């Protein structure tokens, strides 16, 4: 069966048959007697009585099948001008030895281990070693401030922390150990052991009796075998920002996650065992968990770990160099990476220096992909460019263009259609289903697909209130949008990015789409600011392409005219200015909510994930010049 519609309908109407057949492709320590427990709380659970080991399926299984000499990991670091290739057999040895090292420090099944690492192979090795032991890892983005790390230590209560002496940015070295030591002072929970991978760019002072050198530990350890765990046991905790400021610990289970990850590689991305797959992200984010580490290795692919940037390491041809050198078949990254490349090399001239015929498709996710960026990438690369939509909570695509099943028509601006297992609906505030082409809250009817979060770490109550309470029987995505007549989903904005202008619900994402289509605009942000008369008004900030020498006096009327012409006067769009850059998280998401608070003079905290705090000073000045942020 290779027809998308048939597969999708089977996944909703016969979920146990569908996912049971998919799960048979993996190795199980104990098979399931039933695929789905609909009575489980707070949400239905997959493979409730089965047992599995994720590390065995991602590493050992391929060695035993004769793929030991194939590269599992290619580490490419333009930051340090170094590369390393690790075969599946070598990875098995490295992971089992490090797992033995963790075991010697008392780490057992169910214990938590925080991983605070840069983009080096040891980050993936640590994750897999935890999975091997049945320990629960929680990766914290390297370079997070001490207070943020302390918050996660107190919530996860880890027995051990795995770190490195430093992370490296193009212009600076970030020493991790002082941050780690400070976090452990702030935290009320006492961590028994800290393992530190020494890097030549910075020394780390080890605390006697607590800290251990990675290399020494691994060298002296006895290799550890895989430990069988329940399919419903947590594989990892990944903290995502919450509206209260307290991070939410998203749990990923072992069984459903392995099944979903393995299935997506062929069916969504159209890659097979042996293919080279590159997710240009960071292991600190969900994309890194799913598509740098677990999914490619579960499938038997070669995965690329890249310690670099899309631009500046050394130029906007960095991605093309990696693709050519390592023969990458599929690239997955964030739209912001391509906007950065487009800004520096708008004509794509650097592409002429490389042969990237090996690249068969580009997948974009992490934020809304504006059509202008999609068109640019499609024109320059001449391959399918797929915008797909998912969340930290789901772990994989809710909607996508399933290239391995059936290549669907691409509609720029839409992440295409729901994937098997996701009954996606658009609801009005009273719970009724919205007609086609009318915007509402996007929800997923329970049960969620395998791999989605079963709850939050230690907090079923918060899980219930945040995701399940508003529409009983449905998971609330927090995104707003609509379905068109063909069943394509259109994600217009986060629910809190839908602004109410004189009673009209308007999408800031739709306005951004129009602004981004202007030939001089590299990227933009639109958000709602308080207005005494209309409730809210949209305000736009635009970053110009390199070489675009325009003033706001010239450009502003053109942008306002575009929005009025394509969305209508109802948008009331008339406030826009040029800025040098936009404030973003390290994963590339624009901090719209923070800018709203600055503009409206409401209290706000410095976001822990911000890429460069200085940008907010620049934004504050720009907003003041527009008559906002008066008391900031």
pLDDT in tens, 156-177: 999 999 999 999 988 889 999 9
Query: Residue 244 — pLDDT band, cuts 50, 70, 90?
Result: very low
Which tens digits make up the pLDDT trace of 68-103?
A: 999 999 999 999 999 999 999 999 999 999 999 999
The reported pLDDT for the residue numbered 631 is: 62
Query: Residue 603 — pLDDT band, cuts 50, 70, 90?
Result: confident
**How would you label 218-242 residue by residue, b for 16+ Cβ within 10 Å and e otherwise?**
beebebbebbbbbbbbbbbbbbbbe
| HEC readout, 277-300 | EEECCCCCCHHHHHHHHHHHHHHC
* CA gap 538, 531 in Å, rounded: 10
The reported pLDDT for the residue numbered 398 is: 98
Higher pLDDT, 200 or 142: 200
Could you state, in order of their start, the residue ranges of all structural domains in the chain? 4-308+388-481, 502-625
**Maximal C-alpha separation, the chain:** 70
The reported pLDDT for the residue numbered 243 is: 46
Query: For the chain, what is the mean pLDDT?
Result: 92
Neighbours of 172 (CB within 10 A): 9
The pLDDT of 512-522, averaged and rounded, is 91
Tokens of 311: 């631009």
CA dihedral 297, 301, 307, 311 (to 10 degrees): -140
Q: Which CA distances in Å does 510 have to 369, 413, 506, 514, 584?
A: 11, 9, 8, 7, 20
* CA gap 258, 443 in Å, rounded: 24
Which tens digits make up the pLDDT trace of 227-243?
A: 999 999 999 999 986 54
Three-state secondary-structure class, residue 20? helix
The reported pLDDT for the residue numbered 498 is: 63
* Highest-scoring range by mean pLDDT, 336-340, 470-474, 503-507: 470-474
pLDDT at 245 over 80: no
Three-state secondary-structure class, residue 387? strand
Share of the chain above pLDDT 70, in %: 95
The reported pLDDT for the residue numbered 242 is: 53
* CA gap 609, 238 in Å, rounded: 14
DSSP 123: H
* CA gap 195, 216 in Å, rounded: 10
Beta pairing, strands 330-333 & 361-364: parallel
* CA gap 238, 257 in Å, rounded: 14
> Any idea how long the chain is?
632
CB 54 within 8 A of CB 294: yes
> CB under 8 Å to 549, separation ≥6 — which residues?
none
Q: Which CA distances in Å does 545 have to 21, 154, 229, 346, 518?
A: 49, 44, 52, 8, 10
Query: Residue 480 — pLDDT band, cuts 50, 70, 90?
Result: confident
Higher pLDDT, 170 or 379: 379
Query: Residue 37 — pLDDT band, cuts 50, 70, 90?
Result: very high
Beta pairing, strands 440-445 & 474-483: antiparallel
The pLDDT of 311-339, averaged and rounded, is 95
The pLDDT of 273-280, averaged and rounded, is 98
Query: Residue 604 — pLDDT band, cuts 50, 70, 90?
Result: confident
Burial class of 581 by CB neighbour count within 10 A (0 to 12, 13 to 18, 19+): middle
pLDDT at 442 over 80: yes
Which tens digits make up the pLDDT trace of 109-152?
A: 999 999 999 999 999 999 999 999 999 999 998 867 788 789 89
Checking phi first, is residue 66 left (phi over 0); if not, alpha (psi -120 to 50) or beta? left
* CA gap 153, 207 in Å, rounded: 18
pLDDT at 565 over 80: no
The pLDDT of 39-44, averaged and rounded, is 96
Does the domain at residues 502-625 carry the CATH identifier 3.40.50.620?
no
Burial class of 549 by CB neighbour count within 10 A (0 to 12, 13 to 18, 19+): exposed
Higher pLDDT, 419 or 528: 419
pLDDT at 632 over 60: no
Least trusted range by pLDDT, from 101-110, 269-278, 472-481: 472-481
Query: Residue 203 — pLDDT band, cuts 50, 70, 90?
Result: very high
Closest by Cα among 369, 298, 376 to 332 = 369
The pLDDT of 332-361, averaged and rounded, is 94
Tell me the CATH class for 4-308+388-481.
alpha beta
pLDDT at 409 over 70: yes
* CA gap 484, 471 in Å, rounded: 22
Backbone angles phi, psi at 318, to 5 degrees: -55, -45
CB 64 within 8 A of CB 70: no
Q: Which CA distances in Å does 586 have to 76, 509, 543, 590?
A: 19, 21, 18, 10
Which tens digits make up the pLDDT trace of 206-223?
A: 999 999 999 999 999 999
How far is C-alpha 360 from the chain's CA centre? 22
Three-state secondary-structure class, residue 266? helix
Query: Residue 497 — pLDDT band, cuts 50, 70, 90?
Result: low
């Amino acid at each position: 069966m290779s027809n998308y519609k048939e597969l999708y309908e089977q996944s909703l109407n016969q979920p146990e048959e569908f996912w049971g057949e998919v799960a048979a492709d993996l190795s199980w320590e104990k098979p399931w007697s039933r695929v789905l427990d609909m009575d489980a709380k707070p949400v239905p659970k997959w493979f409730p009585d089965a047992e599995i080991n994720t590390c065995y399926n991602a590493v050992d299984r391929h060695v035993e099948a004769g793929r030991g000499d194939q590269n599992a990991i290619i580490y490419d670091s333009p930051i340090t001008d170094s590369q390393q290739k690790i075969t599946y057999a070598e990875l098995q040895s490295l992971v089992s030895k490090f797992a033995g090292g963790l075991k010697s420090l008392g780490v057992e099944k169910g214990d938590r281990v925080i991983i605070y690492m840069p983009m080096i192979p040891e980050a993936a090795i640590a994750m897999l070693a935890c999975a091997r032991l049945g320990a629960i890892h929680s990766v914290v983005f390297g370079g997070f401030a001490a207070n943020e790390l302390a918050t996660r230590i107190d919530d996860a209560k880890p027995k051990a922390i795995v770190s490195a002496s430093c992370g490296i940015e193009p212009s600076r070295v970030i020493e991790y150990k002082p941050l780690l030591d400070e976090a452990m002072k702030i935290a009320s929970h006492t961590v028994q052991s800290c393992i530190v991978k020494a890097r030549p760019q910075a020394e780390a002072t080890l605390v006697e009796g607590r800290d251990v050198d990675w290399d020494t530990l691994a060298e002296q350890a006895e290799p550890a075998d895989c430990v069988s765990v329940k399919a419903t046991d947590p594989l990892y905790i990944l903290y995502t920002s919450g509206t209260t400021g307290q991070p939410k610990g998203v749990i990923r289970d072992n069984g459903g996650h392995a099944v979903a990850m393995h299935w997506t590689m062929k069916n969504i991305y159209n890659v097979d065992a042996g293919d080279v797959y590159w997710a240009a992200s960071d292991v600190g984010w969900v994309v890194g968990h799913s598509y740098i580490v677990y999914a490619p290795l579960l499938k038997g692919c070669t995965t690329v770990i890249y310690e670099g940037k899309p631009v500046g390491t050394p130029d906007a041809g960095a991605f093309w160099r990696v693709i050519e050198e390592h023969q990458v078949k599929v690239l997955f990254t964030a739209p912001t990476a391509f906007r950065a490349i487009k800004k520096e090399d708008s004509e794509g001239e650097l592409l002429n220096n490389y042969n990237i015929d090996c690249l068969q498709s580009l997948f974009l996710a992490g934020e809304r992909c504006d059509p202008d960026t999609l068109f640019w990438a499609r024109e320059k690369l001449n391959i399918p460019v797929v915008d797909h939509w998912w969340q930290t909570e789901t772990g994989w695509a809710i909607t996508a263009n399933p290239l391995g099943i059936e290549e669907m028509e691409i509609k720029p601006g839409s992440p295409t259609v729901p994937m098997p297992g996701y009954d996606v609906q658009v609801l009005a505030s009273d719970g009724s289903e919205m007609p086609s082409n009318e915007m509402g809250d996007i929800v997923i009817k329970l049960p969620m697909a395998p791999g989605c979060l079963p709850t939050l770490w230690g907090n079923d109550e918060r899980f219930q209130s945040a995701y399940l309470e508003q529409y009983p029987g449905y998971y609330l995505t927090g995104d707003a949008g609509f379905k068109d007549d063909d069943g394509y989903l259109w994600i217009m904005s986060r629910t809190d990015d839908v602004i109410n202008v004189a009673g009209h619900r308007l999408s800031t994402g739709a306005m951004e789409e129009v602004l981004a289509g202007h030939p001089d605009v590299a990227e933009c942000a639109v958000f709602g600011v308080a207005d005494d008369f209309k409730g809210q008004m949209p305000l736009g900030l635009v970053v110009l392409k390199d070489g675009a020498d325009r003033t706001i006096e010239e450009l502003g009327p053109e942008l306002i005219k575009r929005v009025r012409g394509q969305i209508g006067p109802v948008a009331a769009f008339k406030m826009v200015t040029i800025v040098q850059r936009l404030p973003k998280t390290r994963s590339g998401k624009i901090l719209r909510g923070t800018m709203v608070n600055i503009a409206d003079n409401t209290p706000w905290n410095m976001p822990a994930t911000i890429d460069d705090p200085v940008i907010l000073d620049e934004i504050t000045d720009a907003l003041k010049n527009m008559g906002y942020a008066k008391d900031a």
